[in-house]
Amino acid sequence: MADDLLSQLKSMTTVVADTGDIEAIRRFQPTDATTNPSLILQAAQQETRRARLQEIARQATDLDDALDAVAVEIGSEISELVPGYVSTEVSARLSFDTEATLVRARALIERYDRHGVGPERILIKVASTWEGIRAARQLEREGIRTNLTLLFSLTQAQVCADAGVTLVSPFVGRILDWHKARDPDADFAGDRDPGVRSVKSIYEHYKGHGYETVVMGASFRNAGEILALAGCDRLTISPSLLGELAETRGTLERRLVPLDAETHAPEPLDESEFRWAMNEDAMATEKLAEGIRKFMDDQRKLEALLGELRRG
């Protein structure tokens, strides 16, 4: 009998848990784990954390301090369960402020260090805006590894690779959402999925030009998208889809295979070229802005929760 699909996927791709749920991480035993404001909010709302959250809120100097304390505490717990990276996100409010992103990222690394978690275990997540990528470039030079998120285009991926970031997280499902909203009757299954095609193009571009930046597909809507990207460097997957893969047996075919670099990297894009290319890509522009807004919506909910606990 064939092995389950999750076991086969782990043999060709590094599987990452897209969650702050400690129990889910224990169950699926991923190599890495990623968090974001939405996932931290979900974890923080668990009743078992309420007393500790109130303690953090009352000890914090302000809400920003409390937010980072919560994220790092959950991230530190996760680091005890995974052997690889834990990704922790800088506030989405700073997506267009390079200097503030640098300050917040360094503070997160220092906070992790106080929890006994070294910088080699942490990926600082930053939105793939021009300002975010510039911040990531400086952080990498300082030895702080980065994960560039909310990435929807080859243009963003190109500038991230030129900046020397450790890892990019191209979103699959949100790209599909955009196309389905405009053509609800189209067949986007398997390789026809525009999000899958986007990740494949980034993967092939990186491998074909010898970039070392890791490609980690993210934001999946169904297991078919994951199977279509088997062989990608990393895939970050929600607990529900991890469970579906673990319970499904069959033969998994490797779909992405790294090839030897054949050509030199293209000339780096400057800021005006980047902004123009993004302006020409309605999907990437709209989904990047929407993603930042959604993360901020959940961050505000967490801020409200912490503010309530602080007063209570």
pLDDT tens digit sequence for 171-210: 999 999 999 999 999 999 988 999 999 999 999 999 999 9
Contacts of 129 (CB under 8 A, 6+ apart): 95, 96, 288, 292
Q: For residues 74-95, give the mean pLDDT.
A: 96
Q: Rounded to the nearest 5°, which phi and psi values hold at 295?
A: -60, -40
Express each pLDDT in 225-259 by its tens digit: 999 999 999 999 999 999 999 999 999 999 999 87
Residue type at position 143: G
Q: Which of 10, 125, 180, 301 is catalytic?
A: 125
Cβ atoms of 269 and 155 within 8 Å: the answer is: yes
DSSP 148: E
* pTM summary value: 0.95
Per-residue confidence (pLDDT) for residue 218, from 0 to 100: 97
> Rounded distance, CA 230 to CA 227, Å?
5
- In contact, 97 and 126? CB cutoff 8 Å: no
One CATH from 2.40.160.10, 3.30.70.580, 3.40.50.150, 3.20.20.70 for 5-311: 3.20.20.70
How many CB atoms within 10 Å of residue 154? 17
- Residue 91's alpha-carbon distances to 68, 104, 274, 312, in angstroms, are 9, 8, 23, 25
In the chain, the N- to C-terminal Cα span, in Å, equals 56
**CA pair distance 82, 70, nearest whole angstrom:** 19
Taken as a whole, the chain contains a residue count of 312
Rounded distance between C-alpha atoms, residue 133 and residue 141, angstroms: 13
Percent of residues, the chain, with pLDDT higher than 90: 85
Q: Is 125 a catalytic residue?
A: yes
DSSP, res 95: T
State both tokens at 20: 């702050």
Going 292 to 294 to 296 to 299, the CA torsion angle's sign is negative
Contact predicate 237/226, CB 8 Å: yes
Q: Which residues contact 29 (CB under 8 A, 6 or more apart)?
A: none
Q: Reduced to 3 states, what is the DSSP secondary structure of residue 149?
A: strand
- Give the confidence band of 1 by pLDDT, cuts at 50, 70, 90: low
Distances (CA, A) of 59 to 51, 67, 163: 13, 12, 37
pLDDT at 2 over 80: no
| CA gap 279, 273 in Å, rounded | 10
Domain boundaries, the chain: 5-311
What confidence tens digit (pLDDT) does each residue in 132-156 have?
999 999 999 999 999 999 999 999 9
